[in-house]
Structure formats: structure tokens, C-alpha cells
Amino acid sequence: MNTRNFYIIATASNDPSLQVKISGPYLTRQAAEADLASAIQEAETLDPSARKYQYSISQVKSQKPGIIQHMAANQ
């Protein structure tokens, strides 16, 4: 795993400083793009207010899983 990986990030539209890594890490931007629609759908299933979020793909220095992977690992 790289130290800098791609993540799908959810940003609250009413507070741009509120950002959450919802999915990842991905080794490539293409892998994150391929998973984007399903990650958004999963986020909306978990939290209906997620429909209001803005989603982006960012490369950040982290190896920790996004919230969706974290929740799946603990079920």
C-alpha cells in the first residue's frame, strides 16, 4: 500500500470544512472513479442526508480505510 492513496471524499454543502473519507484507499484514480457511483449509493443508504453532500476524489497521505470499508470490516 502506498502512503498516498486515492479516496472518495464527501463534503457537506453547508460546511466545506466538514469532509469525510467515505471510501478507499485506492491505488489509482481510475479505481476510485470506477467505485464512485456505488460508494455514493452506499453512503446514501447509510445516511439519507448524504444526498446533500458533494463528492470528489482526492489523493491524501493515509492508509486508513474509508468509513464504508471500516463499517464493513466491523460487521
Could you tell me if residue 68 is inside a domain?
A: no
List, for residues 36-75, the tens digit of each pLDDT value.
999 999 999 988 989 999 999 999 998 888 887 777 676 6
Could you tell me if residue 16 is inside a domain?
A: yes
Q: Considering its fold, how many domains does the chain have in total? A: 1
For 23, the domain range is: 4-62
pLDDT at 75: 63
Could you tell me if residue 74 is inside a domain?
A: no
Could you tell me if residue 70 is inside a domain?
A: no
Could you tell me if residue 22 is inside a domain?
A: yes
Grouping H, G, I as helix, E, B as strand and the rest as coil, residue 70 is helix
List, for residues 12-22, the tens digit of each pLDDT value.
988 989 899 99
Could you tell me if residue 28 is inside a domain?
A: yes
The closest of 62, 4, 69, 59 to 33, measured between CA atoms, is 59
Could you tell me if residue 75 is inside a domain?
A: no
Please state the rounded mean pLDDT for residues 1-9. 87
